[in-house]
C-alpha cells in the first residue's frame, strides 16, 4: 500500500498552451489508479499553484511535479530543508534537474511508475540543494546557477517561443556569443578570491543545463560541494568553438576553463570595472529561472532535498 499522507501534485496549467494541464491530468489519474491519495494543487496560474503547494507542504508525504525545470525550481522553494519528498515527472523543454538526478527522461509512464514505486517503498534519495542569498532575499536551487553569458542565453531563450527543445538554447547561445566578450566578476570560493573578466561562471550542484549541456560533468549532488566552472573571457570564434564542446563535456580540456570546488561561492561585480561595463552584467539564473541580482552568495546545504528515486 502507499505510504502515509497525501501526495501533492504541482502542475503549471498555463504551460505549453494547455499541454501542462493535460499532462497533469494524466499523471493524476495514473497515480490515483495506482492507489495513491492525490491532492491536486493546480490553480489558474503558476503563482496560485505555488501558493497552494506552500500551504499544503507540511502535510504532504511528497510533492510531485509534472513539468520542466522552472516548475521543479518552484517546488524546491517549498520542500528544501523539509521532510516532504520531491517527485519529478519530466515534461518540460530542458529537464536538466531530472537529468542531473538520473531520473527517467522521455517516458512519462516510466517516470510515474518510478514515483509510485518510491512512494510505496519509502525510497528517498538525499541530495544537496543550494541556498542563494542576495539583496532580493533568499532562494533555493537544485541544479546550476548561471552568472555570465550563460545567464544572458537563458534569459533570451526564456523569451523565445520557437524553436522548441534544446535548439532554442543553442540559437540563443549563438546570438549572445556574437556580442559578449567578457564580464568583470569577483568570485570568492570559501574565502579565496578570483578577480577577472569571464565569459561565464557556472555554480553547479548537478551536471547539466541548457537542455543537456554538460558544463560540470563531475558535479555530484550528494557530495556537499559545488563545482564552480570558470571560463575566461574569449572572442567570438573561440567562444563558439568552446560552446560546441559543452554538450559532451569536452570543454574541460581547454586552457580557458577551470573547475573549482567550494561550499560557499560569492559573486560580485568587479569594482574596478565601472559605469557602462557593469551595466552589462546579467541577472543570474538558476534552474533556468532568475534568482536575485549581483552581489549574491551560493551556499550548498547537504541533503536538503529528499527525492523520490
Residue spans of the domains in the chain: they are: 7-122, 137-302
Name the fold adopted by 137-302: Tumour Suppressor Smad4 (2.60.200)
What whole-number distance in Å separates Cα of residue 246 and Cα of residue 214?
Answer: 6
What whole-number distance in Å separates Cα of residue 131 and Cα of residue 128?
Answer: 10
pLDDT for res 279:
44
pLDDT for res 92:
84
Query: Do the beta carbons of residue 68 and residue 91 sit within 8 Å?
Result: yes
What whole-number distance in Å separates Cα of residue 217 and Cα of residue 259?
Answer: 10
Reported as half-sphere exposure (CB side, CA atoms, 13 A), residue 189 has a value of 18
Instruction: Name the residue with cell 504541482.
Output: 10
Reported as half-sphere exposure (CB side, CA atoms, 13 A), residue 100 has a value of 34
Grid cell in block for residue 152: 544572458
Beta pairing class for 192-204 and 62-67: unpaired
Mean pLDDT of 197-205: 96
Mean pLDDT of 200-215: 95
Torsional class of 303: left (φ above 0), alpha (ψ -120 to 50), beta (otherwise): left
What's 142's DSSP letter?
Answer: S
Mean pLDDT of 189-207: 96
Q: How many residues does the chain have?
A: 309
Question: How many other β-carbons are positioned within 10 Å of the β-carbon of residue 52?
Answer: 18
Torsional class of 242: left (φ above 0), alpha (ψ -120 to 50), beta (otherwise): alpha
Host H or E run for residue 298: strand 296-308
pTM of this prediction? 0.91
Per-residue pLDDT band for 276 (boundaries 50, 70, 90) equals very low
Model confidence over 133-154: pLDDT tens digits? 999 999 999 999 999 888 888 7
Q: For residue 305, which of 76, 106, 96, 1 has the smallest C-alpha distance?
A: 76
Q: Which residues contact 159 (CB under 8 A, 6 or more apart)?
A: none
Instruction: Name the residue with cell 546557477.
Output: 145
Per-residue pLDDT band for 182 (boundaries 50, 70, 90) equals confident
* Per-residue pLDDT at 20 exceeds 80: no
> At the fourth CATH level, which superfamily is domain 7-122?
Probable inorganic polyphosphate/atp-NAD kinase; domain 1 (3.40.50.10330)
* Per-residue pLDDT at 157 exceeds 80: no
Model confidence over 40-66: pLDDT tens digits? 888 777 788 788 888 887 889 999 999
Amino acid at each position: 500500500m502507499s505510504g502515509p499522507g497525501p501526495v501533492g501534485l504541482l502542475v503549471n496549467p498555463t504551460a505549453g498552451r494547455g499541454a501542462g494541464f493535460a499532462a497533469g491530468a494524466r499523471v493524476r489519474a495514473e497515480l490515483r489508479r495506482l492507489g495513491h491519495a492525490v491532492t491536486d494543487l493546480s490553480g489558474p496560474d503558476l503563482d496560485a499553484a505555488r501558493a497552494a503547494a506552500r500551504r499544503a507542504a507540511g502535510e504532504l508525504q511528497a510533492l510531485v511535479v509534472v513539468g520542466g525545470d522552472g516548475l521543479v525550481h518552484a517546488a524546491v522553494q517549498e520542500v528544501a530543508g523539509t521532510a516532504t519528498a520531491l517527485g519529478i515527472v519530466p515534461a518540460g523543454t530542458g529537464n536538466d534537474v531530472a537529468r542531473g538526478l538520473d531520473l527517467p527522461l522521455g517516458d512519462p509512464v516510466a517516470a510515474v511508475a518510478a514515483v509510485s514505486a518510491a512512494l510505496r517503498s519509502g525510497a528517498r534519495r538525499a541530495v544537496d540543494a543550494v541556498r542563494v542569498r542576495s539583496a532580493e532575499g533568499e532562494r533555493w536551487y537544485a541544479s546550476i546557477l548561471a552568472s555570465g553569458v550563460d545567464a544572458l542565453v537563458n534569459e533570451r531563450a526564456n523569451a523565445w517561443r520557437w524553436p522548441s527543445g534544446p535548439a532554442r538554447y543553442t540559437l540563443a547561445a549563438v546570438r549572445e556569443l556574437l556580442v559578449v566578450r567578457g564580464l568583470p566578476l569577483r568570485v570568492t570560493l570559501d574565502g579565496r578570491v578570483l578577480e577577472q573578466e569571464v565569459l561565464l561562471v557556472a555554480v553547479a550542484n548537478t551536471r547539466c543545463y541548457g537542455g543537456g549541456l554538460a558544463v560540470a560533468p563531475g558535479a555530484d549532488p550528494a557530495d556537499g560541494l559545488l563545482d564552480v566552472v570558470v571560463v575566461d573571457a574569449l572572442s567570438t570564434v573561440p567562444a563558439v568553438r568552446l560552446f560546441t564542446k559543452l554538450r559532451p563535456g569536452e570543454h574541460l580540456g581547454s586552457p580557458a576553463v577551470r573547475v573549482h570546488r567550494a561550499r560557499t561561492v560569492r559573486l560580485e561585480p568587479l569594482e574596478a570595472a565601472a559605469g557602462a561595463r557593469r551595466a552589462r552584467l546579467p541577472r543570474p539564473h538558476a534552474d533556468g529561472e532568475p534568482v536575485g541580482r549581483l552581489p549574491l552568495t551560493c551556499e550548498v546545504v547537504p541533503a536538503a532535498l529528499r527525492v523520490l528515486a
